[in-house]
A = this chain, B = another copy of it.
Amino acid sequence: MRVFNKNMKIFGDTYMLWGLLGFGTSLAAIAVALFLAYYVNKYEEGTERMREIARAIQEGARAFLKVQNFYLMIFAVVMALVLAVFLGINVAIAYIVGALFSMIAGVIGMEVAVRANVRSTYSAFREGIRRAFLVAYLGGTVMGLMVVGTALAGITLFYAIFNDFQVLLGFSLGASSVALFTKAGGGIYTKTADIAADLVGKVELNLPEDDPRNPAVIADNVGDNVGDVAGMASDLYDSYVASIIAAMVIGFEMFANFGAPELYIYLPIIIAAGGIVATLIGLTWVKIHAHEDPGASLNRITLIAIIAYILILYVLVWWFNANWAVFYATVAGLIAGGIMGLTTDYYTSIDKPPVQKIAEASTTGTAINILLGFSYGTLSIVPGIIGVAVAMLIAWYISIHFGLYPIYGIAIAAIGMLGIVGTIVSADAYGPIADNAKGIAEQSRLGEEVIRILDRLDAAGNTTKAITKGFAIGAAALTVIALFAAYAEIVDIQLLVDAGSAVLVDPTKVLNLVDPNVVSGLLIGAMMPPVIAAMLILAVGRNTEVMIEDIRKQVRERPGILKGTEKPDYARCVSIAEKGALKELMLPGLIATIAPVVTGILLGVRALAAFLAGSIATGFIFALFMANSGGAWDNAKKYIEDGHFGGKGSDAHKAAVVGDTVGDPFKDTAGPTLNTMITVMSLMASTFAPLIALLALFP
């Protein structure tokens, strides 16, 4: 077992300045975020009707986050006590702060998002698409900058104060625990409301989307925010933190055992800071040119951030005289991320063959729609997996070529993918803001023109969301591979890179795949992601049934609701979604948290490493397939609604609606939770490694 907290200097003389600069950059990001929040909030909210709807969404979202964060804090305190007993008080403190920071980023980001939506609607009404886009995008940017700012601030602060990697891992675990529960809870909430609103509202009662007569409409809008904005922010927050800390752990290993310069411990912080600067540079390009599609603008911002990031990286590596493998590995990561984004786009875009074939198949019946959506989503994993494998191989062999410790190269490639996470989160949070803005416009009857504008903003958000989701899943995959390597370092598993000549090894120190414990660990780890996904989907199913019953009851008992003369009890639907989500997220969350520790104790530390490898493989596969199947079903429905194959109301449309509903918990509940879940499992393994090694039944 490595001991991290011995003989370390607090921010070694040479790099003190750079550590401080990293901290400074993170504060700058937070400052810009707060300014943008203030700026967006100054826009007008519009008519009384609009304000009323916006308030209902805000209240629902706040109420859910409040209750969820309350339970999360209880969980975090219990977990912190466990950590304090077994691993010391410092780790416990870091855990709590990591959890708190993640929650704060989510709360502030969501608070701005639920204010930006109505302001974007009103801007569309008053000034047209360009202002509406600006408000929606800057609202999303608050979230993006808060995520990277608080993350980097936390890492630099904790490292400066405690100077102990176990503490940093605790911080990362805190962030990931919150992300797991936020993702699972938000995912269950949002899809319960969405499916119930659709199944009863659209199918049984024939109401249009976002119709105010639908009792679940507010719950649905709230869900978009708690699931997509807050949940997704926690998700990328935790990948971001984990990727930086994994690289630092490996950098320390190089420093302590192989005599590498101390620089490599701090380089991840410096590179991350460079990414924040790149995000800020991209931000200066936020505007729509005349006659331009908002999607093109989103793509331009992202492209400029990527180019700026590569240039900054080049300068940083040159300035610090670091190993050039660092630069190439980062670029390899970025390219892999790009490939995954584009693949996601191909398999889920409304203009491409897969979606159109699914739409066409809907004319043959619901079953064929389901089968095709499932199959195309599954096929879509190929480029992503090969992309990540190639990025990993390039990072490894480039590192060996340039004489860098190869595992460090892989960790750096993960940071490469996550470097511009500020830009990604901004674009991702923009999506639900635009979606909500459209909903508010429909509910407050602002006329066709406004809805048409907001529809364009919403559609641009959907494509971006698909691309950034691919990027996020790829980044999470590389991050957990880096975490897997970090765990291997921590439990002292030998690398055996020096091929060719025989070396003396202790068999208990080799992660040998011809070992029954290792194979069992692999199988059990591989089993975890699909099982947790299934549990989450069942949770959505159960919760939806309850809400559907309630909607039917409301409509039946109070006929005025459908006539529009009586206001439905929105709050009851909000409360059903909320209570169900909080109840249902516990079991899968706990299983994911405890399984690595139990596996490690029962089968040994090497079996646990294989458990992580297995969970990465299937976690990656299921996350990709579920996200892309869901996206494809969604757009196949939209393609039919655009007038193809009989258009709205046709049998093909009905089939496509079922496909879309099946895809909902795939893409918005189970799929996104899996990323976070494998991160949490990897961090649990690393953080509890000393305890597991002590109690393990096998060597």
Chain A residues packing against B (C-beta within 8 Å): 195, 199, 203, 361, 364-368, 370-372, 374-379, 381-382, 385-386, 388-390, 392-393, 395-397, 406-407, 410, 481, 485, 488, 493-508, 510-520, 522-524, 526-527, 530-531, 533-535, 537-538, 540-541, 544-545, 548, 609-610, 613-614, 616-618, 620-621, 625, 658, 661-662, 665, 699
Contacts and interface: CB of A to CB of B under 8 A. Distances in A.
Among the interface residues A364, A516, A517, A621, which one has the most CB atoms of the partner chain B within 10 A?
A516
A365 to B, nearest CB: 5
Contacts of A500: 506-508, 699
5 contacts: A199-B367, A366-B366, A371-B541, A381-B530, A527-B621
A505 B506 contact: no
Contacts of A364: 199, 544-545, 548
A396 B500 CA distance: 30
A189 to B, nearest CB: 16
Nearest to A489: B514
A535 B371 CA distance: 11
B493 A498 contact: no
Nearest to A409: B516
Contact of A518 (B504, B513, B527): B513
Contacts of A661: 365, 367
Contact of A658 (B366, B485, B503, B617): B366
A511 B508 contact: no
Chain A interface, DSSP helix/strand/loop, else mixed: helix
A534 B378 contact: yes
A370 to B, nearest CB: 5
Contact of A531 (B379, B502, B524): B379
Contacts of A538: 371-372, 375-376, 379
Contacts of A617: 522-523, 526, 614, 617-618
Contacts of A516: 392-393, 395-397, 406, 410
B530 A621 contact: yes
B496 A512 contact: yes
Given A375-B534, A508-B500, A365 B620 contact: no
Given A364-B199, A367-B661, A378 B523 contact: no
A364 B361 CA distance: 24
A613 B507 contact: no
Among the interface residues A518, A526, A545, which one has the most CB atoms of the partner chain B within 10 A?
A526
A81 B376 CA distance: 35
A374 B371 CA distance: 12
A372 B541 contact: yes
A545 B361 contact: yes
A375 B410 contact: no
A638 B385 CA distance: 39
A374 B511 CA distance: 34
A110 to B, nearest CB: 27
Contacts of A522: 613, 617
A385 B531 CA distance: 11
Given A367-B195, A368-B541, A621 B618 contact: yes
B515 A496 contact: yes
B541 A625 contact: no
A299 to B, nearest CB: 29
Nearest to A665: B371
Contacts of A503: 504-507
B662 A367 contact: yes
B523 A620 contact: yes
A618 to B, nearest CB: 6
A614 B364 CA distance: 36
Contact of A527 (B376, B381, B519): B381
Contacts of A502: 504-507
Contacts of A537: 371-372, 374-375
The 8 closest A-B pairs by CB, nearest first: A367-B661, A378-B534, A496-B507, A389-B520, A375-B534, A526-B617, A396-B516, A511-B513
Contacts of A526: 385, 526, 617-618, 621
A545 B514 contact: no
Contacts of A699: 499-500
A329 to B, nearest CB: 12
A662 B370 contact: yes
A286 B527 CA distance: 39
A682 B501 CA distance: 29
A499 B488 contact: no
A381 B496 contact: no
A209 to B, nearest CB: 16
A622 to B, nearest CB: 9
Given A375-B534, A388-B523, A507 B513 contact: no
Contacts of A494: 512, 514
